[in-house]
Amino acid sequence: MIDKPIAIRLENVTQKFRVIHERPDTLRELFSRFNKSRNSFHDFEAVSDVSFDVHKGEIVGLIGRNGSGKSTLLKIVAGVYRPTRGKVTVNGSLAPMIELGAGMHHELTGRENILLNGLLMGYSREIMRSREQKIIEFADIGDFIDAPVKQYSSGMYMRLAFAVATEVDPDILVVDEILAVGDFTFQEKCLQRLKAFREAGKTILFVSHTMDQIENYCDRVVLLEKGKMAVNGSPAEAIKAYLGESNVEEPVLVETPSPRA
């Protein structure tokens, strides 16, 4: 049997963050601490030496406790972060949904943001105009489509962002836990669209803490533990390992690197 083409490949990916222990409140404190010999920070590896492939047409889930590196890994795949070490290869057009409201200009209306988001993803004005009505219908936010998005609730943000990301017909969809902010009916609507994407041969990489979604929709699941890949296998295998984890607290990330230029 011939393997499917690779859509996403991660090779020994590591992402370090600088964790600040103390922040000076005044300029005087800044200069005072600058002259001290002790360090007030340390490097923390949010993702450590992770390697796996996502094949074309697969739905792959990322699971793990808070702080395990899931969202960081999605941002690396989406190109928001440049990994400290390792290599990421993405074959095909990619639509990211990795942060609620990301890519939205708060002063612009929903309709104007449809065009803006499409242009940011590399689509022409003509293509976005031709797909605008379908996006509006799927988002189903009524007259708010012509209101500034700063007036939107978190659910309305998610509806519009998901509608744009999926209507532009990308080869790869990257989705973080933001689906959790929607109501049950809209979540089901989104999950049905994800199924349609898979049936059309699209590739999906997504994070969820809802094990029913992971079990029902994923072909394969990657479990992260403290930034390292613990399982890369069937949903049942990964969920079993995840539910058997201890409840030890993770370190808190307080600094993020600069976004990729």
Tell me, what's the pLDDT at 249?
41
Under 8 Å between Cβ of 174 and 97:
yes
What does each C-alpha distance from 244 to 66, 83, 211, 234, 239 come to in angstroms? Answer: 15, 30, 13, 16, 8
Cβ neighbours of 105 (radius 10 Å): 14
- Name the 3-class secondary structure at 20: strand
Using alpha carbons, select from 50, 162, 135 the residue that is nearest to residue 60. Answer: 50
Stated pTM of the model: 0.78
Over its length of 261 residues, how does the chain's per-residue pLDDT go in tens digits?
Answer: 347 899 999 999 999 987 766 665 566 665 565 555 455 667 889 999 999 999 999 999 999 999 999 999 999 999 989 999 999 999 999 988 887 666 788 999 999 999 998 888 888 999 999 999 999 999 999 999 999 999 998 888 888 988 998 888 889 999 887 666 667 788 888 888 888 888 898 999 999 888 988 998 899 999 999 999 999 999 999 999 999 864 434 433 433 444 443
Superfamily of the domain at 6-92+171-243: P-loop containing nucleotide triphosphate hydrolases (3.40.50.300)
Contacts of 104 (CB under 8 A, 6+ apart): 113, 116, 117, 149, 157, 160, 161
Partnered with residue 233 across adjacent β-strands are: 221
Partnered with residue 172 across adjacent β-strands are: 94, 203
